[in-house]
A and B are shown apart, each in its own frame.
Chain A
Amino acid sequence: MTSRVEDHAGAITRRQLRQASVARFARRYGLQIGILCVFLAIWVLFIVGAPTTFLSPQIYAAYMSTIPFFAVVALPLTMAVIAGETDLCFPSIMAVGMVVFVAIFKPTGNVVLAFFVCLLAGFLAGLLNGIIVVKVGIPSLVTTIGTQFFWRGVVLVVTNARGTSLVPLRGTILQKALVGRLAGYVPAQMIWAIVVGVLVWVLLNRHKFGAHVYLIGDNVDSARLMGVNVDRTRMMVFAIVGLAAAFGGVLSSLEVSYLWVTVGEGQLLRTLAAVFLGGTSVFGGTGTILGTFIGCFIIGTIEAGTVAIGLTGFWIQLIYGLIIIISVSMHSVLSRRLA
């Protein structure tokens, strides 16, 4: 008799344990599963609406060539948003980096040197944002609006608003490695976007730096009380976004073999949208790299998909808006439910 009672009690505990672990699983992966479903729904819709386009490989080659230009920035930007910051400056840093690239490449002819100095320039421009935010104490939204204008202005003044042909770079190791085609089909920039994604994921989830990024975005006072170097971490986050922006600038310029002084313009909102679509909270403290990655693909597929299923281009913005609002509402509801 007693043993049956015990069995019964044991069964309840086990069931409770199982429920608790299911709840934990849902809490951890709920948002990512949610956004994945949105992506799959959109995809199925496009396949049904335009089967000839979406069942042929060309459209995917096109996606893989254009999505990385903003994905390589959106992935590290996720880290900044998790830290409770925002960065509107990166489109201009994309251009600054490329101007530095050309300035080094022209006299030396050394593409590798030009590439690394360009990345360094992006890093320093980002670090400057961080210094203004942390040391001067201006909110990042305001700071990066200012530096965004400033750096674009610098680019226009220095170049006299004239672009530069990058045709001499065709066939160089750098061009092949960054924007070449693997097996004549897969754009190399897609591989780089995945590499950036993996690096940022490791940094965010498996490194002390990322642990501190989450803590700062969640509760900056407690992070400080527990001895986290808040100032240095925040400055580094901006520097990393700057570095990534310079990299994105190189990718998109090399792809078209031309430095447009407007490079990066038009990337601002879609990059931010990709981060928020991915379930990263604007209040900081939560967010995932996988979510942003899927967010990038949603943003990237809508434009061509809308046209392919037979709607005019005028529909694109309307559909962008709808999907962003629906997805972000879904995140909001889900995170309240799962709490």
Chain B
Amino acid sequence: MDCILEMRNTSKRFGEVEALRSVDFAVERNEVVGLLGDNGAGKSTLIKIVTGYYQPDSGEIYFNQEKVEGLSVARARQLGIETVYQERALADLQTLWRNIFMGRELTTRLGFLDVRAMKRETQKLMVESMGFTSSAVASDAVVRTFSGGEKQGVAIVRALHFDAELIILDEPTMGLSLAETRKLLDFVRGIKKAGKSCIFIDHNVFHVYSVADRVVVLDRGAVAGEFSTKDITLDQLMDKMYRVAQTGSLD
């Protein structure tokens, strides 16, 4: 199996709460994995470990079959892991180009910003990758003035720009309109076509089922089951999700 990411035996607790209990989780190369589960199932904790934001209490992480120790946010981004967070991790009062290059500014060796290059790159990204033609979306515009969909688009373009190998989408459809959601799902299919991998987290089973190759169901900090979307119908999946929520077991 050609895994781009593999987590073995990962556990994490916050005080009394066991957020993750010995979770094994893997993403194959060029695979879209849907991560499903109720509130508090541990989806976000799992993701924040992959992105280096949380350190796991125990367990091993392999990226491209190589073991990674002490993963930090900067290291994860270097490895090609990019995340679009549900909080829409944008700085609202800053300009678009500052948001696109947040934490990874183009600089000279002494750390001075190459403002012109960043603005040019931003403008190009907006037109080419997102097809934004609205006059409000300029590289100098302040992000606060954007619509919800436009903001989500910015977060996604930011993830794409840096040659990500693995793109993580954490509840990306939250607060999006119907048209915006469809555009987003198309975008996930685009990731697959481009040969990259993706972890797609959402409450909405329909959205996940329509784009994922494989679905992993988390429940109360443990993996309750996984299915290939080829082998299961949407009805069966919903049935199982419902049973997990009720009883904590799939059958």
Q: Is the CB of A215 within 8 A of B98?
A: yes
C-alpha spacing A202/B73, complex, angstroms: 27
Nearest residue (CB) in A for B101 is: A211
Q: Is the CB of A218 within 8 A of B105?
A: no
A58 surroundings in chain B (CB, below 8 A): none
Using C-beta atoms within 8 Å of the partner chain, give the interface range for chain A.
Answer: 20 to 34
A183 surroundings in chain B (CB, below 8 A): none
DSSP majority for the A interface?
Answer: helix
Interface centre among A208, A214, A223, A224 (most CB of B within 10 A): A208
Using C-beta atoms within 8 Å of the partner chain, give the interface range for chain B.
Answer: 20 to 34
B91 surroundings in chain A (CB, below 8 A): 214-215, 218-219, 222-223, 285
C-alpha spacing A286/B107, complex, angstroms: 22
Q: Mark B50-81, 1 if CB is under 8 A from A, else 0.
A: 01010000000000000000001110010000
B92 surroundings in chain A (CB, below 8 A): 218-219, 285
Asked whether A333 is an interface residue with its Cβ less than 8 Å from the other chain, the reply is no
Contact residue among B74, B89, B142 (Cβ-Cβ distance under 8 Å from A27): B142
C-alpha spacing A209/B91, complex, angstroms: 16
CB distance from A216 to the nearest CB of B (A): 9
Q: Is the CB of B73 within 8 A of A285?
A: no
C-alpha spacing A109/B137, complex, angstroms: 61
Asked whether B131 is an interface residue with its Cβ less than 8 Å from the other chain, the reply is no
Asked whether A57 is an interface residue with its Cβ less than 8 Å from the other chain, the reply is no
Q: Is the CB of A227 within 8 A of B73?
A: yes
CB distance from B60 to the nearest CB of A (A): 22
Also in contact, A24 and B102, with CB within 8 A (given A206-B112, A209-B111, A221-B87): no
Asked whether B245 is an interface residue with its Cβ less than 8 Å from the other chain, the reply is no
Nearest residue (CB) in A for B158 is: A226
Nearest residue (CB) in B for A20 is: B135
A215 surroundings in chain B (CB, below 8 A): 91, 94, 98, 102-103
CB distance from B239 to the nearest CB of A (A): 35
C-alpha spacing A285/B143, complex, angstroms: 13
Q: Is the CB of B145 within 8 A of A339?
A: yes
B73 surroundings in chain A (CB, below 8 A): 224-227
Nearest residue (CB) in A for B103 is: A226
Asked whether A228 is an interface residue with its Cβ less than 8 Å from the other chain, the reply is yes
Q: Is the CB of A226 within 8 A of B138?
A: no
A219 surroundings in chain B (CB, below 8 A): 89-92
Asked whether A232 is an interface residue with its Cβ less than 8 Å from the other chain, the reply is no
Q: Is the CB of A225 within 8 A of B113?
A: no
**Can you give 9 contacting A-B residue pairs, CB < 8 Å?**
A206-B113, A208-B105, A211-B105, A218-B92, A222-B85, A222-B91, A223-B102, A227-B77, A339-B144
The 4 closest A-B pairs by CB, nearest first: A226-B103, A222-B89, A218-B91, A227-B73
Residues of B within 8 A of A (CB): 51, 53, 72-74, 77, 83, 85, 87, 89-94, 98, 102-105, 107, 111-113, 115, 135-136, 138, 140-142, 144-145
